[in-house]
Chains A and B, each alone.
Chain A
Amino acid sequence: MTSIIGPASYKFFGVFPAALLSFILPIIGIGCFTYIMARRIAPLVRANPDNRFDHIGKRIQNLIVIWLGQMRQPRYMLAGVLHIVIFAGFLILSIRSVSLVIIGFSDGFVFPGLGGGLGLVYNFIKDYAATFVLIACIVAAVRRGIYKPKRYAVPEKYGKDHTAEAVFVLGIISTLMISESLFEATEAAFEFQKTGETHFLAPLTLVWIFRAMLSSVSPNVLQGLHIFFYYVHDLAFFFFLCFLPMGKHFHVITSIFNVFFMRVQKGNIKPVKYGIADDKLDDLTSFGVKKLEDFTWKHMLDFYSCADCGRCSDQCPANAVGRPLSPRFITIKARDLIFKNYPMSGEIYDSGKLLVQDIYTEDEIWSCTTCGACEEECPLGIEYIDKMVDLRRGMVDEGLVPQSLQKPMKALEKRGNPYGKMEKKRAEWAEDKEFSALCQVKDLDGETADTLYFVDSITSYDDNIQNIARKTSLILKKAGVDFGILGKLEKDSGNEVLRFGEEMLYQDLKSQNTEAILETGVKQIITSDPHAYNALKNDYKGLPPVKHISQVVAQKIRTGELDLKPCLNPEKVYVYHDPCYLGRHNGIYEDPRQALDAIEGLNRVELEKSRDRSFCCGGGGLMLFYEPEEETRMGVLRVNMAAEAGATVIVTACPFCLVNIQDAIKVAGKEGQMEALDFTELIEQHLV
């Protein structure tokens, strides 16, 4: 006998055919897996509809870039690289694992096409894959088990530590890698002993090392080990398959679907219910997410897909300031509730309580500024903003709204602005004597213009912020833009009204604004408020194109229609803070920077957290009225970041950022050392 007996021909104790075991194991394994998956899919079937079959091209692109390409992983370098190694190893070894199962009852099975040269290449690659996966697992286990990076910690209120599960799974993966390699190494060592021939094995791979280690072991023992490690691999493989849907490693199965179905548009909010038009909303008996099954199936898939990596919470500004919100646990708590309510056997259970009284708290859900940092980071395409909005819609429908928010909401309903100021005073900012001598702003309720300047509430009414309206007007005038405003006909854009779950109020504001805007016949809309920009661009329908003032300025500089003076304060150090609703939600990162850099001699530094990793200053719109529980203010953290970057002037392009950062400079005790400036103010100072 010159070659080792494979599991398909082996007989235990010389009588019992191992092939039978090799055949039964997969049947049991796949049977269990099918049952488990059926139970796991049950809640998705009962969930709300979700339209995720649009933008197929973009979805395939996401699949290639985010899933296959793992492009979001290196944003956390060490963990990311480890994950890429394990992920790539899994993809490569999946072929080997399946063929191993078949080898159990068909000796020497290879997949068609992998018999010849291609097979040799594949074997070469997969041996390195197994080796690198094992190394990655060991590094990962040491990292999780010994160094314990902070972002994996589970605060007491959210339950027990998850390290054991993580390390256990790394152990299973290591077992798979080792047993697969030993299965092959025992055969190679056996062959060497019998024939004296060594066939080529990739150097320094596990198989290569194991063969060397086993070179002097007796053939009988090798035969025994060969069969033993085959079944270790087989058992580990099917155990792992059935274990995956039990916890955070479910993402191994769901990630491909989750990334394919992830959010493809930015800045928008899902409808109250897919398939229900805005004018049919009154027919719905309930709004938003109140119980588990009110989530859409994609949102439930999100819960299953969470890998518990903690990147969302690590980026979350609410979490950073100690608000009672950690996006990671929004997902984990919902996942655990699904596991509890949809057990592996027995009745499906309904807790009968509102989610915000069961697993979440009201403050937790109000704490979110909808800045989008979590979604930008998640390597699995899990989304949060729509869930927050849906949960808030549920709370608003139940009347569960904090008193601090009820007042501005009522004022919005009665006066179209959260301050309860009179409609007729909306355009008072333009009557400032000094300003009106320089620039007369047209009221499009009567006059006509090409462009509408949509001012929005804070810029219209806040004494301190009205300056942005005047500076914007002066810039537009200088750039030769024929513009006007809606005056008393303008209502709040409702960006936050929608995001705070007051859908019908938002619908009301939207239709009043839409009607007033269309009535003017303008060809484009310009705004200086990123929140208004976002609402008009992404939430409203059928409006002329919308631009933010920074886009207009950058473009007019490029065309030479705007000229800027050299920097008036070259000794100051400027830093640009990306507003969430300009940057992350709308991808405008470069225009404001280009405009700043067009000011000759302006000394500009970058924040470490900038562009799509910008840190929210505290939120806008209704968030200014909300009184959160928190240890510090987001703005204070942001001001400290700017100070660390060496900046003395924080330039932003959003009225809410300006308010938050101005306040934060005072709270942080940096008055006199630092200042906050709006983009429009800086540009207007430098107009030639």
Chain B
Amino acid sequence: MEILVCVKRVPDTAENEFELNGAGNDLDRDDLVYSVNEWDNYAVEEAIQIVDKVGGNVTVITVGDSESEEVLRREMAMGANNGILLSDDAFEGSDGKGIAAILKAEIEKGKYDLILTGAQADEGAGQVGGMLAAMLDLPYASLVNKIEVGEGKIKVGREIEGGNQEMNEISLPCVLSIQTGINEPRYVGIRGIRKVAGVEIPVKSASDLGIAADSIGKAGAKTKRIDYFVPDLGAGAEMLEGSTDEIIAKLIEKLKAKGGL
């Protein structure tokens, strides 16, 4: 089975403290560390496990700048066979639809049985998977937490409100967005990344993909971020300050005062 997994490089939520930049329109990105989006990591692990069972190849793809290559390498160290980096100044500022359009252009050049994305990204809107499926005119299942591979089709499970599970049959090729918890992604250390350090990763630009520069990027974006801020404290909300112990003491005091304890 030929599987393509779309991945994204994001600021790591576990290892950063997010603050707004001076202009107030984005995160202060000076001291951030990045990694592969957590959901995408589960998608790659799932793809590798499927290929281990039924054979085939796993290709990882991302839209980003040259630094995004690091996440492709990390996923290749996990066991993905190929990587493709879609990079062009013209891609910058793309909205979800733009990203989906860029991915679609490359996907059409290959022949994939299964296309996986993460259910959402840490700083994203969870829209690329669905748009991509629509643009490719392929069946789509979102928030997939179980995959059973059969002949010519697969069964996919989704967790439903209230902890129920549903199973769906879906014909190939298709697009799935993967939920965390579908598996236990394997560990990739420095050693694994070094092993794939020399592997060539093709970089493709807008012209390689044959897409018009004005249909994507800032120019083509139909949605634009117009503000970025920490919400004002609403009525009744209060931020406790101090050391952890002090915060706990204050919290207990408040709970007691309001009759919560």
Contact = CB atoms under 8 A, between A and B. Distances in A.
B190 interface: yes
Interface string A264-301: 00000000000000000110000100000000000000
B164 interface: no
Nearest to B190: A504
Contact of B15 (A397, A405, A414): A414
B31 A422 contact: yes
Contacts of B17: 421-422
A488 to B, nearest CB: 11
A400 B191 contact: no
Interface of A: 281-282, 287, 396-403, 405-407, 409-411, 413-415, 420-422, 424, 463-464, 502-505, 508
Interface stretch (B51-59, B96-104, B111-119, B181-189): B181-189
A457 to B, nearest CB: 13
Contacts of B243: 463
A404 to B, nearest CB: 11
B159 interface: no
Contacts of B12: 410, 414, 420
B147 to A, nearest CB: 19
A415 B33 contact: yes
B31 A508 contact: no
Interface string B28-40: 0001010100000
A545 B133 CA distance: 63
Most A CB contacts (10 A, CB to CB) among B12, B187, B244 go to B187
B221 to A, nearest CB: 31
Interface in B162-191: 184-191
Interface residues of B, number: 22
Interface of B: 12, 14-17, 31, 33, 35, 78, 184-192, 194, 243-245
B194 A464 contact: no
Chain B binding surface SS class = loop
A227 B247 CA distance: 89
B63 to A, nearest CB: 23
Nearest to B187: A401
B260 to A, nearest CB: 21
25 contacts: A282-B194, A287-B191, A396-B187, A397-B189, A399-B186, A399-B192, A400-B186, A401-B187, A402-B184, A403-B185, A406-B185, A413-B189, A414-B12, A414-B35, A420-B12, A420-B15, A420-B16, A422-B16, A422-B31, A463-B245, A464-B244, A502-B189, A503-B191, A504-B191, A505-B190
Contacts of B192: 399
Nearest to B77: A399
Contacts of B244: 463-464
A463 B243 CA distance: 7
A444 B12 CA distance: 30
Contact of B187 (A406, A420, A421): A406
B21 to A, nearest CB: 16
Contacts of A508: 190
A383 B188 CA distance: 29
A401 B186 contact: yes
A571 B145 CA distance: 60
A464 B247 CA distance: 13
Most B CB contacts (10 A, CB to CB) among A287, A413, A502 go to A413
Contacts of A413: 189-190
B189 A505 contact: yes
B195 to A, nearest CB: 8
A410 B184 contact: no
B40 to A, nearest CB: 15
- What are the nearest 10 A-B pairs in CB distance? A399-B186, A420-B15, A401-B187, A504-B190, A414-B33, A504-B191, A463-B244, A399-B187, A420-B14, A411-B15
A410 B13 CA distance: 12
B178 to A, nearest CB: 16
Contacts of B186: 398-401
Nearest to A406: B187
